[in-house]
Each structure stands twice: as C-alpha cells, then as structure tokens.
A and B are shown apart, each in its own frame.
Chain A
C-alpha cells in the first residue's frame, strides 16, 4: 500500500536519501516525496544526469552525490518526483500534489528533510529582474547548463559565492567583479572557532583554493564593501556600494547575490513547532530531540539543514540518525542497538558543527545586509518597506504575526518565506529587544498554491 508506508520522507537531498537508504535496510517501507524531477536536492541538483564534464566543473563534493543517488534509486523506496507537499498534520498525515493529483498519505512516521534556502537579504533594488541568488545561478548551471549573460557581478558574502565564482570560471564565464560584504571584523572573531574547525582541514583547504582561483583570475575583489544597492529601471543595470569610504558603481546585466543559507522552516512553522532564534546562524531553529524528533509533534522527525545549517555531510549523518530512531520506534531495532549505532554518528556530527561554528562566525552577514534602511522593500509580495514595518512597531506592533494585521506583511504568495527573518530582526531592532523575544512568523497550510479542487480530497 503506497499510501500507508512505514515511513514518509519529504525531500530527496542528502538527508532524505540517506534516511531512505537506512530505513530500507531496516526493512521498512518508504515513500519519498520531492518537488524536483530528480534526486539530489539543491546540493546534488541534476546529479542523475551529471556527465564527466559536469562533475569536473562542480567538483568532487558534487560528484560524491552520484553514488548516493544511485544507491537511493536502487533501494526500493517509492520515490515520487514532482511531488508538492502542501500540508503535514499530526497523526501523521501528509497531503501532496503528485503529478497534478491530490494524494493523502498516512505513514507511521514522517522524516522532514526540506533543506535550506538562500537567506533573503533585502537591499535597495533587490526586487529588480536580473538580481538573482547565487544559489539560483548554480541551479541554472547544474540543471540547465546556463550561465549569466553579459557583464555580471557577484555581490554578498559566504562560501557559496566563492564556490560559484570558481565554477563559473571553469566554464569560461568570468565575473566582472566580486563585491564582498563580509565584515573585516569577522576574521578576528573567527580565530577562536578556527581551532575547533581544524579537524575539517580538507574543507578549509578547499575554501582557500576557491579564493586562490578568484585571485589568480584577476577578478577585482572589493573586500569589506558596505551599502550594497542594485540599480536599474525595470531590470538591473548596475550595482552600487561603498568601499574604503568611497562610493563605487559597476555596470551589470546580472547581479548574483548571496548572504548565506538558512533552514527552510515553512512546514515546521506551519506545524506550530516551537522555534528558537539562533544568534550564530541568525535564523529560527525548530526544537527537536537529539535524535531529530520534533519536540511538539510525536512521530515527525527533522533531518538535514532544515534542522540547522551544517552542510551536506552532516545532513547525511542526521538522516541516518533519524532513520535509526524511527526504526526503534517501529520496533525493528532494539534500543541498545539503536544507541550503539547513533552514538558514533552524533559524535561525527559534532565535528561538522565545529566547522560550521567557524564558518558562521567568519561569514556572519553584516547587520546592514539584514536590517535595511526605511526605503527598502522587505515583503516582496505585498511590497511593504522596512520603514512601514518600523511604523507598525511605533503603533504598537510587537512581532511578525501582528505585522500581518498591521499591513499584510508576509501574506503574499511566498507566505513570508522571503520577509520572515528580516521582519523579525527589524521589529526586534526597533523595539530594542532580542530577536528571540519577538515571535516567529507562523506559516499556514496549504504552504503551496493549490487549486480548491485539490483541497477536497
């Protein structure tokens, strides 16, 4: 029975695929739902069809996804592509559109592995066509073999920006400039956490390699840039910023922006799971047990970057941990064996978390890139500016959920995915309180656009 599997997994990235593999090895029936046309999530996007050229351009870490996807596809998991999950309810129940048809699943356990998204970083002109995420550009490269047209600039901060520059250079697409908004002060603060990250020296060396490639290619780098703004009328035509106290403006047909990645919490927020503000990752993290089970909703687990950003390797480990915990709950693994299996996995996770602490400190997005000036649009859908949100606060608005009533902020088609984090930080800043003291923006089911006929199932 496809619709009553032992385990239903949402997301075919590293966490979801690894969880599926382990659940299948434990003899459990598994359905995996994923929005994309192939396995891999965003990190291993299009890995099923990646040829040697693609693996050379995207590197060993990407190529490693090929074996995982192959094992996953051969695991006996009922893998449903182009499946849009629009509700997860206690029970658990999972509602999805699969190939345009409504389906309801009643699994015994659920593992959510919905991954990460690029941090929305409101800046002047960020809604202009042609201003696009660095992650989005990498997706276009991996899945469609496309690169930016005409002069393009990379602007922002974080490892993905440098990795993308390196990959673009490998296919002959040369950025006109790298406008790096990483605060110079971050480096000093990152010295402490660096000690803990040295165990992951291979990753650190890879990072140095990226920066080396950018330097050797002679791409102008504006390190420590501030006041990033995208310019144009109807489409982006350039990027403006301040560097070493002086204003600069560069022409660009496309600007690729990045300010790190954050967990995709749409489903856990709609499930009313308690979320705590992480001051190191500058985002909300859902509350879970050490084995990944949602603290508020029994039988639903959370694996991978959706539980907190830690990278693809850590995502696989956490997917494996969740699968063992599910096995224990369903009685196919005894508690002692489960502990024997998960204890070393959790110790290995700690190493990746130590690396992440270093990266989070070094590439902490600058305050000015997260908490914008009054004239900047924050809610792209309803076109609500930071100034309007500050106005709501002066009228008594205490948090993002009240801001919906004050001015529809977060109530457009994206349902707060783009404005939620910035709104929380702006309101906290204006109120003069810690972000953790304002509430997390609640999401509502359905979390995806569905036709009325699809709701009647």
Chain B
C-alpha cells in the first residue's frame, strides 16, 4: 500500500471528528472516525482490496454502495464482509482476501 492511492481527503470537505486505530493485514494505522472501512483503506492508499478466487486478478471498490462486492474484506474474523457498508471501529482487524478462501484447518491442495 505505498505510492499513489486513488483518493485523498480534500480540505474543503474534510471534517475533523477524531480517529480510531485499526489493523490492516497486521499493520497498525490510525484512520478518521466515521469512515467506512473501504473509504479508510482508500485514504490509506490501498490500490488492491483483494484478488479474485477465479483468476487471481486484483480488485478494488467499484460502487461504494453495496452492489459490486469488489470491496470484500475479512473484518474481525468474518470473511466476505462488504467493507463499504461497515464503519471503522477502534481495534478493528482487517485482512485482505487473496484468491480462493480456505476453510479453517484445510491445507493447500486438500480436497474440499
């Protein structure tokens, strides 16, 4: 998540309303309170939210309103959470989902 992201806060509209601490793939960061998880990741410069289970292609949000399912993340242990519909909370743990999900305890290549 380094380099130029897709969106930035603009002073003409940005509101100061405190901040919360979250972890993104284990990395601690401070984000503005009140943002959706998807918006917070975009402000952090995220360019890849997940890789598709089928072809491993990188994806990022398309709709920001709950209909494209491109912003799916693991949030506090729940996979396939729609990150554009969930607000950041202090202590939230967020994980990107790369490729097909594996059931707990399953090893690479094991038959489902």
Interfacial residues, chain A to chain B (CB-CB below 8 A):
35-37, 42, 49, 51, 53-54, 57, 82, 84, 117-118, 120, 127-133, 135-137, 139-141, 143-150, 170-173, 234-235, 253-254, 264, 266, 380-383, 412-414, 417-418, 448-449, 451
Contacts and interface: CB of A to CB of B under 8 A. Distances in A.
B75 to A, nearest CB: 11
B63 A380 contact: no
Given A144-B35, A145-B14, A117 B48 contact: no
Contacts of A448: 82
Closest 5 CB pairs of A and B: A129-B60, A145-B13, A136-B64, A145-B14, A413-B69
A381 B62 contact: no
Interface string B3-32: 011111110111100000000000000001
A85 B54 CA distance: 28
Given A234-B58, A235-B48, A381-B69, 4 more contacts: A51-B15, A53-B13, A129-B48, A146-B9
B39 A143 contact: yes
A429 B78 CA distance: 41
A35 B63 CA distance: 14
B8 to A, nearest CB: 5
Main secondary structure of the interface of A (DSSP, over half): loop
A253 B6 contact: yes
Given A129-B58, A149-B5, A118 B63 contact: yes
22 contacts: A53-B12, A54-B13, A129-B60, A132-B61, A133-B64, A135-B64, A140-B64, A141-B13, A144-B9, A146-B9, A146-B43, A171-B10, A234-B47, A253-B4, A380-B59, A380-B68, A383-B55, A383-B57, A417-B68, A417-B69, A418-B68, A451-B78
Contacts of A172: 10, 12
B68 A414 contact: yes
Contact of B39 (A35, A127, A144, A418): A144
Interface residues of B, number: 45
A42 B57 contact: no
B59 A117 contact: no
B70 A135 contact: no
Interface in B34-55: 35-36, 39, 42-43, 47-49, 52, 54-55
Given A82-B85, A383-B52, A383-B57, A133 B62 contact: yes
Nearest to A384: B54
A173 B68 contact: no
Contacts of B54: 381-383
Given A144-B35, A171-B13, A380-B68, A149 B48 contact: no
A253 B4 CA distance: 8
Interface of B: 4-10, 12-15, 32, 35-36, 39, 42-43, 47-49, 52, 54-55, 57-70, 72, 78, 80-82, 85-87
A80 to B, nearest CB: 14
A135 B63 contact: yes
Given A54-B13, A144-B36, A145-B10, A235 B47 contact: yes
Given A127-B59, A171-B10, A117 B72 contact: no
Contact of B6 (A42, A130, A380): A130
Contacts of A170: 12
Nearest to A415: B69
Given A139-B64, A143-B36, A234-B48, A132 B85 contact: no
B62 A147 contact: no
A42 B7 CA distance: 19
A171 B9 CA distance: 11
A414 B12 CA distance: 34
B60 A130 contact: yes
A126 to B, nearest CB: 8
A133 B52 CA distance: 19
A311 B79 CA distance: 35
A264 B67 contact: yes
